[in-house]
Amino acid sequence: MIFVSIANAQSLQDTLTYTNFLSIVKQFHPVVQQANLLNNLARAKRTKALGGFDPKFEAGFDQKYFDGTEYYTFLTPQLKLPLWYGIELKGSYSQAEGAYINPENKIPTEGLGFAGISFELGKGLLMDERRAAIQQAAIFTQSTTNEQIRILNDLFLDAGSQYIDWQNKYKIIKVYEDALELAKVRFEAVKIGYQNGDKPAIDTVEAILIVKQRETSLQQANLEWQSSKFMLSNYLWLANNQAVDPNKLTILPQDTLVFPVVINNAIENNPKFLSYDFKLRDLNVERRLKAEELKPQLNLQLGVLNQGTSLLRNINSNYWQNNNKVNIGFSFPLTFAKARGDLAETKIKIRQTELERDFFGIELQNKIRQNNFEILTLQNQLIILNQTYLSSLQLLRGEELKFKLGESSLFLINSRESKLIEVKEKTLNTELKLEKSKIKSLWLSGTLHQNI
């Protein structure tokens, strides 16, 4: 495993490839673990919503004794089973005894069984809080997958960009290491030429000055590379949420890294754009629930009564006509002020979300167009920079030849060489921008996680 070299290597430097780096991020990074917890959260939310349909057992006990006389004793256990469409099944068994029981509460000695059903025929017929909770939990479960993709896309964008930056800084170090080594070789050659009387003393000053300048440039490049390595370590984690010590990292980046060019103007897979659709679906469930509040409340409860504990004995039309319990409840707010206000508020939220989605969609399309244009521009710049590098290299070789023939100076050679180094560094930085733009293209289209 790559972590063996990361954690234990002291002198041997291993290569951490881009693929292995992102695999480590995907497996161990805390943000990935947080994203995975969303599945548990969705299951918990669904379980909570299903709780609205839990069967419920209730029992009521009421007793009064005074001066040694049992006035009354009531015992009523009952079971309720909520169903879809505002329907609820109910079964109960009542016992009552005592010297002073209200006549309407008198029941047979063996008790009274009740089996019934209740309906919400007005408010709650098409939508109620229990059904709304179930539908919103289902929407949340679907949106959880989208949110995980959004989190992973953001993480891989940051991690991938940091790896490319780390790789770029290392390449720049190699450029300055080669330039410093060349400057040292040239200084030794000039010093020998001076000692032999072939070169003036001022050339040795020029040569050692270039050595010192390039030593400074190399130190600066090494500082930036080390800083980039510390930033890279933010994405390197071990098992058990143990962060990697950046001071023990002796790894190097891979030499070349070329991403395919993806020119994609589609936005429908962007997770942030999709999140607006899930939000709108959730708000529409809420709108339907608020619209129910504009209806009058009409509850109907029908039940059959039986002596003893047999709740469903003797069920027929004749028995029902003589042994039933019917309850009708009706309420009707005269203004529906609260209901109208809640519904209007929800509609405003829906419109706000639609406007946000439309604005973000245009903004996202423009970002994709801008990024695609940037990719094409950077590709053209690289072509020009590579041509410039070859031309600068030819000028340097020509200047070195003239110097050997005594027709040039060390100053001109150093000037040509500095220009070559400048072009090389600019080429590497342009490559850095290009590779970051390619990753950003996948991120904008919402497909970056699919390439890991």
pLDDT tens sequence across 223-251: 999 999 999 999 999 888 888 888 888 88
**For the segment 337-357, what is each residue's pLDDT rounded down to a tens digit?**
988 999 999 999 999 999 999
pLDDT at position 193: 82
Q: How many structural domains are present in the chain?
A: 1
**pLDDT band at residue 452 under the 50/70/90 scheme:** low
What gap in Å lies between CA 24 and CA 26, rounded to an integer?
A: 5
Per the CB < 8 A criterion, the answer to whether 128 and 289 are in contact is yes
**pLDDT band at residue 259 under the 50/70/90 scheme:** low
Per the CB < 8 A criterion, the answer to whether 73 and 94 are in contact is no
pLDDT at position 374: 94
**pLDDT band at residue 423 under the 50/70/90 scheme:** very high
Residue that wins the pLDDT comparison between 316 and 218: 218
Query: If you average pLDDT over every residue of the chain, what do you get?
Result: 87
Q: Is residue 375 part of a domain?
A: yes
Q: Is residue 70 part of a domain?
A: no
Q: Is residue 419 part of a domain?
A: yes
pLDDT at position 324: 81
**For the segment 63-72, what is each residue's pLDDT rounded down to a tens digit?**
989 888 888 8
pLDDT at position 261: 63
Mean pLDDT of 7-16: 56
Residue with tokens 């030819």: 394
Q: Name the percent of the chain in helix, strand, coil, to the closest 5.
A: 65, 15, 20
Q: Give percent of the chain with pLDDT exceeding 90.
A: 49
Indicate if the pLDDT at residue 448 is higher than 90: no
**For the segment 17-48, what is each residue's pLDDT rounded down to a tens digit?**
998 999 999 999 999 988 989 999 999 999 98
> Domain containing 439: what range?
2-49+131-282+344-451
**For the segment 86-121, what is each residue's pLDDT rounded down to a tens digit?**
889 998 888 888 888 888 788 888 888 888 899 888
Indicate if the pLDDT at residue 160 is higher than 90: yes
Longest dimension (CA), the chain: 136
pLDDT at position 1: 38
Residue that wins the pLDDT comparison between 185 and 407: 185
pLDDT at position 30: 92
> Minimum mean pLDDT among 140-144, 197-201, 446-450: which range?
197-201
Closest by CA to 88, choosing from 47, 45, 131, is 131
Indicate if the pLDDT at residue 12 is higher than 60: no
Strands 69-82 and 56-66, bridge-based pairing: antiparallel
Q: Is residue 12 part of a domain?
A: yes
Q: Which two tokens stand for residue 426?
A: 């600019």
Per the CB < 8 A criterion, the answer to whether 306 and 323 are in contact is yes
pLDDT at position 44: 92
Q: Is residue 80 part of a domain?
A: no
What gap in Å lies between CA 376 and CA 296, rounded to an integer?
A: 63
Indicate if the pLDDT at residue 187 is higher than 90: no
pLDDT at position 314: 65
Query: DSSP string spanning 3-64?
Result: HHHHHH-SSPPPEE-HHHHHHHHHHH-HHHHHHHHHHHHHHHHHHHHHGGG--EEEEEEEEE
pLDDT at position 260: 64
Q: Is residue 358 part of a domain?
A: yes
Q: Which two tokens stand for residue 114?
A: 């009740």
pLDDT at position 313: 66
Q: What is the CATH number of the domain that holds 409?
A: 1.20.1600.10
Q: Is residue 101 part of a domain?
A: no
Mean pLDDT of 11-21: 78
Q: Is residue 55 part of a domain?
A: no
What gap in Å lies between CA 218 and CA 177, rounded to an integer?
A: 7
Mean pLDDT of 249-273: 79
pLDDT at position 66: 85
Half-sphere exposure of 216 (CA within 13 A, CB side): 6
pTM of the model: 0.82
Closest by CA to 437, choosing from 187, 179, 264, 304, is 264
Kindly calculate the radius of gyration of the chain based on its CA atoms and give it in whole angstroms: 40
> Minimum mean pLDDT among 75-79, 317-321, 441-445: which range?
317-321
3-class DSSP state of 203? helix
pLDDT at position 105: 80
What gap in Å lies between CA 267 and CA 2, rounded to an integer?
A: 36
Indicate if the pLDDT at residue 8 is higher than 60: no
